Amino acid sequence: NAGVTQTPKFQVLKTGQSMTLQCAQDMNHEYMSWYRQDPGMGLRLIHYSVGAGITDQGEVPNGYNVSRSTTEDFPLRLLSAAPSQTSVYFCASSYSSLKGGINYGYTFGSGTRLTVV
């Protein structure tokens, strides 16, 4: 039972490069989300999705794109990396209350540590 799988675990990018952070879950969770964690700021929501084909912006969406073509996958794309995007990125999933699930706890991936130089 893999839970939430994030790849890669570590990545170094040059300013201006693009890349995709992968997130996959095998728990049939409808809700998936991306957070970034910066020192002293906790976790901040970037984008989220309540099901395949449905995405929406969180607190800090600028510079990131997402899509949700399947229930299992929720990739996060950095369009043109900037040093301000140096952070640890977490993907999280849960059952969605829209589909009758009760969300008492989210499952997080192990994180991707991204450095933009």
Partner 1 sequence: AQKITQTQPGMFVQEKEAVTLDCTYDTSDPSYGLFWYKQPSSGEMIFLIYQGSYDQQNATEGRYSLNFQKARKSANLVISASQLGDSAMYFCAMREGPINFGNEKLTFGTGTRLTIIP
Q: Does 12 bind partner 1 (CB under 8 A)?
A: no
Q: Does 5 bind partner 1 (CB under 8 A)?
A: no
Q: Is the dihedral of CA 22, 25, 29, 33 positive or negative?
A: negative
Are 14 and 81 in contact by the 8 Å Cβ rule? The answer is yes
In 3D space, the residue among 28, 61, 31 whose CA is nearest the CA of residue 44 turns out to be 61
Q: What 8-state DSSP symbol labels residue 81?
A: -
For the segment 43-102, give every residue that binds partner 1 (CB under 8 A): 43-45, 48, 50, 58, 88, 90, 92, 94, 96-98, 102
Torsion of CA 65, 70, 72, 77, to 10 degrees: -10
Q: Which is nearer to partner 1, 2 or 104 (CB)?
A: 104
Report residue 92 as tokens. Answer: 């999280």
Q: Which of 18, 110, 115, 117 binds partner 1 (CB under 8 A)?
A: 110
**Which residue stretch of 18-26, 37-45, 65-73, 77-85 sits at the interface with partner 1 (rule: CB under 8 A)?**
37-45
Q: Which residues of the chain form contacts with partner 1 (CB under 8 A)?
A: 31, 33, 35, 40-45, 48, 50, 58, 88, 90, 92, 94, 96-98, 102-108, 110-111
